[in-house]
């Protein structure tokens, strides 16, 4: 193994520094277990010397762990190099799982390395997002003598609603790193902040605060006068900002007709309303001005009627400049102080606004920073994507203008605060239409917050199937990750293609099951490698994409967890996994849309598959030595633990089966890999566990699919997605997809099984009932295997 495993990692040059690594999987060494996400290093000179002498092992490397400075010999295949610039930011993240996520997703690291003091950020504090400005980047304590690295943090000054929610004034442990108001400062690792501009959005201009001695004569909301093309005009100041030494005003002119065309005017070229000379004031009443505009429009009555039809939650388009339209949702309608026209507060789909719902210190609605805009209602046009609903319910065959914009750039999955900021809200996620919920929920689960199946998007495809892949990648996944919204028309195009490719002619209209869709697109169309390889009793390998749990009704399983169900199912079918899957999709024991075997199922946040692997070393569950025999009858014995296969070393097997109740058991021999046959548990490391991480759950109550997605490492980090949560209009309307946070799930995950069994579904908080009572399909991932598949 060389230090150039990952493209972009620096090669050792002088041999005077260190080479840093992160563990992509748990690793046991002696009595210690180093979890995935742990970091370590070795001296370049030692590594280069060992190469020159030919003594370096290709399988293992002797490294020093950064967390406790212990020395261990670690398998090279689970070590990924990290350059020093990135390592200092990763080291500041205490949660090892989150640290590994930041390394694997990459984008947060790349942005962190390029971050500068004065840059605006969004801070994630207990699921609430606040704006702030970076005031310091670097270490906040001395590095221990035994450690070559000291973690780097971001010193952030909270602003707006976040003021007073910090913990310092820029001082930490008696040392001052920056200055700010009391309780407005925080020192945070990179996983707790999101940078502005966000990945994929247009750069957001930083708005410096005016100097103390600098007086800005105009502020947002003022009515001003200015010259444009030698003609004096009036308008409303929408924003005031500074570029270099010069101040500018973003102006919405009053005479631009029904669509706002914002103008950026130098501050010294505008004059505030109170200073306007009477000779420049309009020579007609406001009502006359509106009448003139109506006449200029050529269809004034229709225009006024159209504006009157717009209401709160209407989807609209606004032109910020020539050829620069943006879309959004009206969140507020009314009149602002000193402004005569009726105004609309709009939450934009992109960060092209100037507010978070505040106007001159008063809050009118809530939205993420830089997503809000106040404009004249007259300037709002109905969203062209929905103008044809009267001629057909979002039918692509009759609505050619409704095509969603393609996003050709590739975007990583959304995690943590970014996932909340981009995905949460109304008209978020994937819009449902015409029985599409099975596909909407599956696609949202597989691609919103994980990259485990991104091979579906990039695997080389033959020309006939390349069109399906382009729709999936450019019109569904990338728009979802960039904008947080996918139009129903994009999914309809995919459904029509599946109808043409598949044996069923009703994919575009009828309700299907998620596994039917997944098998068709993965196997028959894109031809990706099967996710699961199974073997039963020495027979020929079986390959599949989803695994259906089949078990007999178990009296001891009243409220089972997923771990128990998988183990019972594998045991009853005498199945083993031939290899570790990168993605493990599991269907629950329910048949049809009504019958389900268990009233509640507990999600296992981690699925331990160590003992389900074929010909893999396993531990005696009693003493921890290498297991040589397995007993399926002991698995059902109530004397033992409720989870975990029951395998033994020779001595423990003999002792366990000396009991009269177990003398009739017939243990089966296990295959022990050659390198483990002579191992003694007294002086050898424990066999590492293979665990998979839950990332999504599909649920169905009657005939409608919804999904839960895990967007971060904490138990509270859950999103709930419903592609048809609400509706606009009647039979000629359209569905409104909604994504909500559901931290209440964590409360029930922590309950004892007996207490959870007694919970009445109707009394469970929020949407938790749907996760525990309506689970249909669980999705697990192995990030380690995803690196190689």
pLDDT for residue 393 is more than 50: no
Mean pLDDT of the chain: 77
pLDDT for residue 414 is more than 50: yes
665 noted as active-site residue: no
Identify the pLDDT of residue 464.
60
pLDDT for residue 170 is more than 80: yes
Task: Give the confidence band of 6 by pLDDT, cuts at 50, 70, 90.
Answer: very low
Identify the pLDDT of residue 438.
92
Identify the pLDDT of residue 277.
37
pLDDT for residue 697 is more than 50: yes
Using CA atoms, how far apart are residues 51 and 12, in angstroms rounded to an integer?
A: 12
Average pLDDT for 454-470: 75
- Assigned CATH topology for domain 99-195: SH3 type barrels. (2.30.30)
Average pLDDT for 594-600: 77
Identify the pLDDT of residue 717.
93
Using CA atoms, how far apart are residues 119 and 135, in angstroms rounded to an integer?
A: 8
Residue of 437, 449, 546, 742 marked active site:
437
Cα dihedral sign for 275, 279, 285, 289? negative
Q: How many CB atoms lie within 10 A of CB 764?
A: 20
3-state class of 699 per DSSP? strand
- Assigned CATH topology for domain 287-386: SH3 type barrels. (2.30.30)
Residue-wise pLDDT for 93-139, tens only, equals 988 888 888 887 666 788 888 888 888 888 877 767 788 899 999 98
Using CA atoms, how far apart are residues 566 and 577, in angstroms rounded to an integer?
A: 12
Identify the pLDDT of residue 568.
85
Residue 241, strand partner residues? 248
Q: Which of 2-6, 65-69, 612-616, 714-718 shows the lowest per-residue confidence on average (mean pLDDT)?
A: 2-6
The residue with greater pLDDT, 25 or 11, is 25
Residue position matching structure tokens 């505040």: 358
Sequence ranges of the domains in the chain:
18-82, 99-195, 287-386, 417-513+692-780, 629-686
3-state class of 669 per DSSP? strand
Using CA atoms, how far apart are residues 335 and 500, in angstroms rounded to an integer?
A: 52
- Whether the domain at 18-82 and the domain at 417-513+692-780 fall into the same CATH topology: no
176 token code pair = 């001052």
Residue 700, strand partner residues? 705
Q: Which of 24-28, 156-160, 724-728 shows the lowest per-residue confidence on average (mean pLDDT)?
A: 24-28
Average pLDDT for 216-243: 71
- Assigned CATH topology for domain 18-82: SH3 type barrels. (2.30.30)
The residue with greater pLDDT, 295 or 476, is 476
Identify the pLDDT of residue 668.
81
Q: How many CB atoms lie within 10 A of CB 28?
A: 15
Pairing of strands 547-548, 583-587: parallel
Identify the pLDDT of residue 788.
59
Residue of 433, 487, 568, 704 marked active site:
704
Identify the pLDDT of residue 195.
78
Identify the pLDDT of residue 377.
87
Average pLDDT for 366-371: 80
700 token code pair = 């169905």
Residue closest to 481 by CA, chosen among 515, 456, 514, 446: 446
Q: DSSP class of residue 91?
A: H
Identify the pLDDT of residue 763.
86
Average pLDDT for 213-234: 66
CA geometry: angle at 283 spanning 277 and 285, to 5°? 115
Using CA atoms, how far apart are residues 315 and 349, in angstroms rounded to an integer?
A: 10
Residue 328, strand partner residues? 316, 348
Using CA atoms, how far apart are residues 192 and 420, in angstroms rounded to an integer?
A: 12
Using CA atoms, how far apart are residues 444 and 738, in angstroms rounded to an integer?
A: 12
Q: Which of 21-30, 340-349, 397-406, 456-465 shows the lowest per-residue confidence on average (mean pLDDT)?
A: 397-406
- Cβ-contact 588, 775 below 8 angstroms: yes
Task: Give the confidence band of 462 by pLDDT, cuts at 50, 70, 90.
Answer: low
For the chain, the distance separating the N- and C-terminal CA atoms, rounded to the nearest angstrom, is: 19
pLDDT for residue 39 is more than 60: yes
Question: Which are the contacts of 233, defined by CB distance < 8 A and separation ≥ 6?
Answer: 225, 226, 227, 253, 254, 255
Task: Give the confidence band of 430 by pLDDT, cuts at 50, 70, 90.
Answer: very high
Q: Which of 160-169, 386-395, 726-735 shows the lowest per-residue confidence on average (mean pLDDT)?
A: 386-395
Identify the pLDDT of residue 274.
47
Identify the pLDDT of residue 723.
94
Residue-wise pLDDT for 178-220, tens only, equals 999 988 999 999 888 887 654 334 433 334 444 434 556 677 7
What percentage of the chain reaches a pLDDT higher than 90?
16
487 noted as active-site residue: no
Question: Which are the contacts of 21, defined by CB distance < 8 A and separation ≥ 6?
Answer: 39, 40, 41, 42, 61, 63, 79, 80, 81, 82
Average pLDDT for 665-669: 83
pLDDT for residue 45 is more than 70: yes
Residue closest to 251 by CA, chosen among 271, 277, 279: 271
Question: Which are the contacts of 503, defined by CB distance < 8 A and separation ≥ 6?
Answer: none
Q: Is 430 exposed, middle or buried (0-12, 13-18, 19+ CB in 10 A)?
A: buried
pLDDT for residue 730 is more than 50: yes
What angle do the packed helices 107-114 and 84-91 form, to 10 degrees? 100
- Assigned CATH topology for domain 417-513+692-780: Cathepsin B; Chain A (3.90.70)
Helices (H), 106-175: 107-114
Residue closest to 163 by CA, chosen among 123, 116, 215: 123
Residue-wise pLDDT for 525-569, tens only, equals 787 888 999 888 777 888 889 999 888 776 567 788 898 899 888
Q: Which of 242-251, 400-409, 461-470 shows the lowest per-residue confidence on average (mean pLDDT)?
A: 400-409
- Cβ-contact 430, 444 below 8 angstroms: yes
Task: Give the confidence band of 349 by pLDDT, cuts at 50, 70, 90.
Answer: confident
Identify the pLDDT of residue 677.
60
What angle do the packed helices 488-501 and 437-447 form, to 10 degrees? 100
Cα dihedral sign for 248, 254, 257, 259? positive
Q: Which of 87-91, 444-448, 534-538 shows the lowest per-residue confidence on average (mean pLDDT)?
A: 534-538
30-44, 525-539, 670-684, 741-755: which has the highest mean pLDDT?
A: 741-755
pLDDT for residue 506 is more than 80: no
Q: Which of 224-238, 405-419, 562-576 shows the lowest per-residue confidence on average (mean pLDDT)?
A: 224-238
Identify the pLDDT of residue 197.
54
Using CA atoms, how far apart are residues 629 and 598, in angstroms rounded to an integer?
A: 32
The residue with greater pLDDT, 501 or 588, is 588
């Amino acid at each position: 193994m060389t230090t150039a495993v990952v493209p972009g990692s620096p090669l050792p040059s002088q041999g005077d520094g260190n080479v840093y690594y992160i563990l992509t999987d748990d690793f046991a060494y002696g009595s210690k277990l180093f979890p995935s996400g742990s970091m370590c290093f070795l001296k370049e000179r030692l590594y280069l010397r060992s190469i020159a002498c030919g003594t370096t092992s290709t399988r293992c490397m002797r490294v020093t762990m950064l967390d406790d400075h212990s020395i261990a010999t670690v398998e090279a295949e689970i070590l990924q190099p990290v350059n020093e610039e990135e390592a200092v930011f990763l080291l500041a993240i205490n949660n090892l799982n989150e640290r590994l996520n930041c390394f694997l997703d990459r984008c947060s690291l790349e942005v962190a390395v390029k971050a500068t003091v004065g840059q605006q950020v969004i801070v994630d504090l207990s699921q609430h997002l606040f704006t702030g400005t970076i005031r310091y980047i670097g270490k906040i304590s001395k590095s221990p003598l035994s450690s070559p690295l000291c973690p780097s943090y971001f010193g952030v000054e909270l602003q707006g609603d976040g003021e007073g929610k910090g913990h310092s004034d820029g001082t930490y442990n008696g040392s001052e790193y920056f200055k700010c108001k009391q309780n407005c400062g925080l020192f945070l690792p990179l996983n707790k902040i999101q940078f502005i501009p966000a990945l994929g959005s247009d750069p957001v201009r930083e708005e410096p605060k005016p100097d103390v001695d600098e007086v800005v004569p105009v502020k947002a909301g003022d009515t001003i006068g200015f010259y444009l093309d030698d003609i004096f005009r009036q308008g409303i100041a929408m924003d005031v900002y500074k570029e270099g030494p010069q101040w500018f005003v973003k102006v919405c002119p009053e005479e631009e007709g029904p669509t706002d065309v914002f103008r950026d005017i130098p501050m010294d070229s505008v004059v505030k309303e109170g200073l306007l000379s009477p000779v420049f004031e309009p020579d007609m009443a406001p009502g006359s001005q509106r009448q003139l505009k109506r006449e200029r429009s050529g269809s004034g009555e229709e225009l006024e009627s159209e504006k009157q039809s717009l209401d709160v939650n209407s989807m609209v388009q606004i032109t910020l400049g020539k050829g620069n339209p943006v879309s959004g949702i009206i969140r507020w309608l009314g009149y602002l102080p000193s402004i005569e026209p009726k105004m609309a507060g709009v939450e934009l789909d992109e960060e092209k606004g100037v507010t978070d719902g505040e106007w001159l210190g008063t809050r009118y609605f809530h939205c993420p920073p830089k997503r809000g805009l106040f404009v004249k209602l007259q300037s709002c046009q109905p969203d062209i994507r929905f103008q044809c609903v009267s001629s057909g319910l979002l039918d692509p065959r009759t609505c050619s203008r409704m095509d969603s914009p393609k996003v050709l750039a590739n975007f990583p999955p959304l995690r943590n605060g970014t996932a909340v900021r981009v995905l949460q809200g109304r008209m978020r996620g994937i819009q449902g239409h015409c029985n599409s919920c099975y596909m909407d929920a599956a696609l949202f689960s597989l691609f919103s917050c994980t990259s485990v199946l991104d091979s579906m998007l990039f695997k080389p495809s033959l020309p006939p199937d390349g069109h399906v892949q382009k729709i999936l990648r450019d019109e569904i996944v990338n728009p979802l990750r960039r904008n947080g919204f996918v139009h129903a028309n994009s999914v309809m195009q995919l459904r029509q293609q599946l109808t043409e490719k598949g044996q069923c002619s009703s994919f575009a209209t009828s309700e299907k099951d998620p596994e039917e869709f997944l098998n068709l697109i993965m196997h028959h169309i894109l031809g990706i490698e099967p996710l699961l390889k199974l073997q039963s009793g020495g027979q020929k390998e079986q390959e599949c994409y989803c695994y259906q749990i089949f078990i007999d009704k178990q009296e001891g399983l009243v409220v089972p967890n997923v771990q128990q169900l998988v183990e019972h199912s594998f045991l009853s079918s005498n199945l083993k996994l031939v290899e570790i899957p990168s993605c493990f999709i599991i269907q629950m024991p329910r048949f049809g849309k009504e019958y389900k075997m268990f009233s509640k199922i507990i999600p296992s946040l981690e699925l331990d598959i160590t003992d389900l692997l074929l010909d893999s070393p396993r531990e005696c569950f009693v003493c921890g030595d290498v297991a040589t025999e397995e007993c399926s009858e002991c698995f059902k014995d109530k004397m033992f633990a409720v989870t975990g296969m029951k395998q033994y070393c020779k001595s423990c097997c003999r002792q366990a089966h000396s009991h009269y109740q177990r003398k009739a058991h017939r243990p089966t021999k296990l295959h022990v890999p050659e390198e483990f046959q002579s191992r003694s548990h007294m002086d050898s490391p424990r066999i590492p566990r293979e665990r998979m991480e839950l990332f999504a759950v599909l649920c169905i109550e009657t005939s409608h699919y919804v999904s839960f997605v895990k967007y971060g490492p904490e138990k509270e980090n859950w999103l709930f997605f419903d592609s048809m949560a609400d509706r606009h209009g009647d039979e000629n309307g359209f569905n409104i997809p909604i994504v909500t946070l559901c931290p209440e799930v964590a409360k029930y995950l922590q309950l004892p099984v007996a207490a959870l069994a007694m919970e009445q579904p109707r009394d469970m908080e929020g949407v938790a009932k749907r996760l525990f009572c309506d689970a249909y399909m669980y999705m697990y991932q192995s990030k380690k295997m995803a690196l190689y598949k």
